[in-house]
Amino acid sequence: MIPGTFDYHRPDSVEAAVALLAEHGDEARAIAGGHSLIPMMKLRMAEVQHLVDLQGITDLKGIKVDGGTVTIGAMATQHELIASEALAQAAPIIREAALQIADPQVRYVGTIGGNVANGDPGNDMPGLMQCLDATYVLVGPEGKRDVQARDFYEAAYFTARSDDELLVSIRFTAPKGGYAYEKQKRKIGDYATAAAAVLIAKDGGTCSSASIAMTNLSDTPVWCEAAAEALVGTSLDKAAVDAAVAAMTGAIDPQEDNRGPVDFKKHVAGVVLRRAIERAASRA
């Protein structure tokens, strides 16, 4: 399995990378870890004439926790997300999710930027970023702009990023309270049959705020405000959790594939969401 020929570029700055993307238009693709793109190129399902390798751009690296604000460079790898103690303090849900992505070899090279920008509904980080209400920073020929993760995904592989823009970093406010990332998969390394990202804050015995996002149950991640609202103001009793699961089930739109029929996926979505709510509540 050998991909078609391409020209290889290794720019050393964001500006140089954006200039290459602008010059070559839809013939160019940025490559981070490459573990989504290279398999597609080997299958010749992705035709790339100009490959713009981001590995030489120092500005895209690093994880910064500054007060309550977390900024993660697009080229931070899953391995680095897991290893960062500062990030584990500020947003432990990221480590919990990253440990469930792929396998060790893939996590050494797979990046958060590639994971969120590719627009693959199977990727775990987009739903998690919606749960955290993260902001994506994009740089294009016209300059820099912010797009909320909750506004970024349009359809499978279609996002608010245009061909000549580069996702450079991700920023969010460190969440308070309990958290859980629960993922059901057929085997280690697989994409989710269903996954749930849940944040819950409590005031005394009452849920004071919640955020819920689901992965691989529609052609985009599903941030479900109604499911979170079903929890707020309750003691997270069975009736509240049932209502949240019902709201979530109404918001997802899974398709039948080799991970199972639609009814099964809806069932698994309910199971993972219940587990995630329970774990997040126990940590809140």
Distance CA 256, CA 199 (A): 28
The yes or no reply on residue 25 touching another protein (CB under 8 A) is no
Phi, psi for 151 (deg, rounded to 5): -110, 0
Binding track over 176-205 against another protein, x by CB under 8 A: ------------xx----------------
Residues 67-86 that bind another protein (CB under 8 A): 79
Distance CA 38, CA 92 (A): 30
Tell the smallest beta-carbon distance from residue 34 to another protein (Å).
7
Q: Would residue 116 be called left, alpha or beta, if left means φ above 0 and alpha means ψ between -120 and 50 degrees?
A: alpha
Tell the smallest beta-carbon distance from residue 15 to another protein (Å).
21
Q: What is the DSSP letter of 77?
A: B
Interface residue with another protein among 11, 34, 73, 254 (CB under 8 A) is 34
Q: What distances in angstroms separate CA 151 from CA 129, 146, 214, one per listed residue? A: 11, 10, 15
Where are the extended beta strands (E) located within 20-78? 28-31, 50-53, 63-66, 69-73
- Please give the size of the binding site for another protein, defined by CB under 8 A: 29
Distance CA 101, CA 110 (A): 9
35 or 279, CB closer to another protein?
35
Residues 148-177 that bind another protein (CB under 8 A): none
The yes or no reply on residue 11 touching another protein (CB under 8 A) is no
41 or 117, CB closer to another protein?
41
Interface residue with another protein among 15, 40, 55, 88 (CB under 8 A) is 55
The yes or no reply on residue 106 touching another protein (CB under 8 A) is yes
The yes or no reply on residue 105 touching another protein (CB under 8 A) is yes
Q: Is 137 exposed, middle or buried (0-12, 13-18, 19+ CB in 10 A)?
A: middle
Strand ranges across the sheet with 28-31: 7-9, 50-53, 28-31
The yes or no reply on residue 17 touching another protein (CB under 8 A) is no
Residue numbers at the binding site for another protein (CB under 8 A): 1-8, 10, 31, 34-35, 38-39, 41-42, 51, 53, 55, 79, 102-106, 108-109, 188-189
